[in-house]
Amino acid sequence: MQKNFIIGQISTNTGKVNQISTQWSQKDIWDTIKVRWSIGRMDYKVKQGLYAVCNPDENSNIFVSANFKLSFDHLRRALHGMSAWVLVLDTKGVNVWCAAGKGTFGTKELVKRIRAHKLEQIVSHRKLILPQLGAVGVAAHEVKNLTGFTVIYGPVLARDIKEFIDAGLKATPEMRRVEFPLKERLKLVPVEISYAGFYLLLIPAVFFIISGLYAWGYSVDRATDAGAKAVVNLIAAYLAGCTLTPALLPWIPFRRFSLKGLVVGWMVAVILFFTGFLGSSIYEVISWFLIIGGISSFMAMNFTGTSTFTSLSGVQKEMKLALPLQIIAAGLGLVSWIILRFLL
């Protein structure tokens, strides 16, 4: 990845340190758009190490970040107008919150970087400012015992850093609160949509072809009519789970995401029924309700890994219960729908 954010170098007691810009370039903006759509997301990272913002000295604060570039970018932009050090941990290209849960944004890696870059020779103080969402992965007392550096947890959002600094490294209750408003939920929808990849084209195409089957052979007219409706139903089911459910998340009844997705999927199915897309036979309608419900429920359940509403143990428990039911529902609906091709 081109290091367009590096604008120079400064000298320290331990050697040269790359100086970084606090402003996003057009490339940064374009790369952010791409990564939101999961394009190059698995390799969207910067090199771990120590960076300088503006012209920091021995009294400047040290902020710790993950090497997921989007996390790094938000931090450096929030430090605009300040002189500071940025210590980037090797989180394998994963954001702070997820990396903390996986252990890569953790005590061992933090201690390793402190020692590798000899921070005690660069600054006169012994304070590190970590993002609050990384707290689950870091044992502050161990860091203190092993390095002499005290861990201070900053605000949830990088944009609150200046206020946090001005308040003497004190966070308000609002800075500590994790919120998940509509705007933030919609930012994650493109990644959810992209998960299907070519299957989003392949599966509807297969349904379109199968739609032309009937007891006496194959009909292009049936494929064109029923096949087009099948494609609409499948895409609607997919979007119901990975777009409508996240958007309506707080207002949908039930706690489990699989049930939320099922509710939204069936709401969409009702609309499709009244617009004639589910077919004229009650058996075909039931088949589509099973298929749409299963797909929407599954896609909504995938959003648990992106949401602040759930825990790892809760997700695992829900998947163990819901996944077999989703497969059975969609499978029964599919088999029934195929059989009906030869009966109707």
pLDDT digits (tens, 9 = 90+) for 263-294: 999 999 999 999 999 998 999 999 999 999 99
DSSP 240: I
Sheet order of strands, 62-66 included = 6-12, 15-20, 49-53, 84-89, 62-66, 127-130, 150-153
Question: Is 26 within 8 Å of 19 (Cβ atoms)?
Answer: no
Tokens 């959003």 sit on residue: 303
Q: What span, in angstroms and rounded, lies between the C-alpha atoms of 17 and 216? A: 75
pLDDT of residue 2: 46
pLDDT of residue 83: 97
Residue pLDDT, tens place only, 196-236: 778 888 999 999 999 999 999 999 999 999 999 999 999 99
What is the CATH code for 6-176? 3.40.50.11600
Q: Which segments of the chain have a pLDDT < 70?
A: 1-2, 305-313
Domain ranges of the chain: 6-176, 182-343
pLDDT of residue 161: 97
Give me the DSSP letters along 13-55: TTEEEEEE-SS--HHHHHHHHHHHTTSSGGG-B---EEEEESS
pLDDT of residue 1: 47
Task: Tell which residue, 171, 17, 162, has the closest CA to residue 87.
Answer: 17
Helix (H), strand (E) at residue 130: strand 127-130
